[in-house]
Chains A and B, each alone.
Chain A
């Protein structure tokens, strides 16, 4: 069970002067239950890529397989696929439209053909998972704060009970604690329900903290694919692509250069702390 891309190419406006190759021969497989991150500068092909995962975009050439089946095969039910592979766009709160939060979250499941009761049951579950408390269910989405709106919108996708959850910069514009809360919630959803999570982010710190595997997109191609500590060790190449590594990576390399024997592949504060304390201890002896 997985999502598999085989030699995906996507060209915008083919045959015109505006022709642009947004994806070039991209190959990847995302196994069930993985927490994967995607980074890349603006225009690197990230958004085009994620819209291939649930069949919102059709590759110019190449194949997209979901659980082994070609999603562009003649009789494949892509409608159903989109309820299994949920996509939370950037600033999803712009898509809230009902008069009440609970109603808004019910919209998806109702469209799946569920009864009102079933839809509400799912909506309540989704809102709980997204961390929005019951007192907001009857509020207008427009009365909520930025962070609360974001949660309501994410709940709208969770209510479809997707097997795969794709989030395009879910924390943009949120304050630090709001950022941590939403990502913690997604991480616990991942570990409790075992769903696949694909996180697109501009925050290298968040990628380092949460994902097991990361993909770096550059000029429509997959530039790196691996565990964060390995990928971030190429920080100089990442910089050349308009990206960066977490601040910790720079600290550890700077310490290493000054002769302190630390683990330069540490990417989080906890890892760095442990490694530095160890190195200092060795120094004392």
Chain B
């Protein structure tokens, strides 16, 4: 049976490591009767939580890959997309964010809003995802959900509104006071499955009333009906929910729920909140590009099951069920036996089997409709592909950053060599920020990615899941080069060695270009270069980009304008114009004052205020530019731009400098000019290589 689209909730659960996301997910699956026993993340009983499907994750106690799992609550279908908690795997997080319509931000009642919550929140903001907050671990000593709510307001600038207050905290945490119902709730039974509603205990009555008033004030902004009802004292629960829902969907408020997943408190009420407050698929606008259109125009997807199919493959998984592809349907209908068109490859694939994952159990289904998330079996594609009924449509291309770090891997023996190849093939399909290349100089296999940890995790997987014995080299930074000022070229390519000659002349400019890798434009008029040779010119310039003349690194940020030229009716050819373009580029590029660019990371370090000086010191030593400091209640967050080349091994240094009390996150920020010493060093190395006749 297809699902009623208004009763679907595609949601992500996003959190800082250790705030209990996996435990919360487990409890959700338990209460929605998808699993029948509960385990802890770090697997005291050796079984481990179901969502952590990878061995490595289980060991580290963190969730790396996003898995989608379905369950039902209160007549609604929930698709949980488990977003990874670690920012090094940004593309994984961002891919998950693309397909979800709403999210639950899990926060620890003790640690509060940590640096990683800030990074994750920033990503959600980028994708306009409406959020609920769940303040977990209210049973821990030091728990203070009010303070966490305050931090949501102050640090993340959310209009956070508590819908509940705790019935006791720390060891006394016993339940929740629901400010909408104005009743207290206790969770009885072995797994808290029996909810008992009772009067609010007298000592908490006053606080509950005060907090309810704050909540009503915040909600009333979104509903005139509620505003009037408050004045006339005839507020109903439905009115409050409706107003809160409006505020949440507009991303104007963040409702705050609380409890303790571990102690089985508050999870059911959070689920009620998910169903009532987060959007259904029709309430979110998703756009796609029409590739058949010249401008690749964007158009909104309809969500209608009766329209042609548009589905997005957001995750590949290879496991017990073979190759699974998770897709989100944005419009149309998908049936078992259908033939789908992959608009990237132009190939057609048949859907032999269709399923829905319930954590690790698969349910076979025969059809699915718009809004849903399902898994296809044995379909060959890459993650990020768009499937349609036949039209060339692509979902708004997700921003895929270029890898910034690389390292060489070598297999110890033949068997490992084979397994390594298999592993690399798989990973490149799964993760667009993970690339594999062969070093043209050494012949080594290079793996490239977004950070040290990113590559480390893949190395571990190569060793464990694929049983390959491999050795890894030192991580290396991916430099780029560019020019800093405009230069003009006037170049003639001429060759006369018997037979037909070669002749091409081109004139124009090469300019620095901000915010893009390369642009080519022809301003040629009057046929001084015949139109058919213009693409050859572009091809010639492009051929120079992978290896820049300055230090041999890829060139980025240049714009080429061809303005004039000349040709010969017999001797001009594609080849000749390509050669002219290459020659022109080589000739004038050095006059453009070329520089080396290095990847710079946005590093956020958070720790107790007293370590401000030490933290700053560690960043300064790494050529960091300390951008800013945020102070808050004894904690300080320092944001800095630091060259990636200086960040290897930073975790250890930071830990020892702050007695393990500070933590950091980093994200690729941009390419920035490298210091003169780095330029000189690379220039020297490149000159030596060229002198040795290698290039």
The yes or no verdict on A and B being binding partners is no
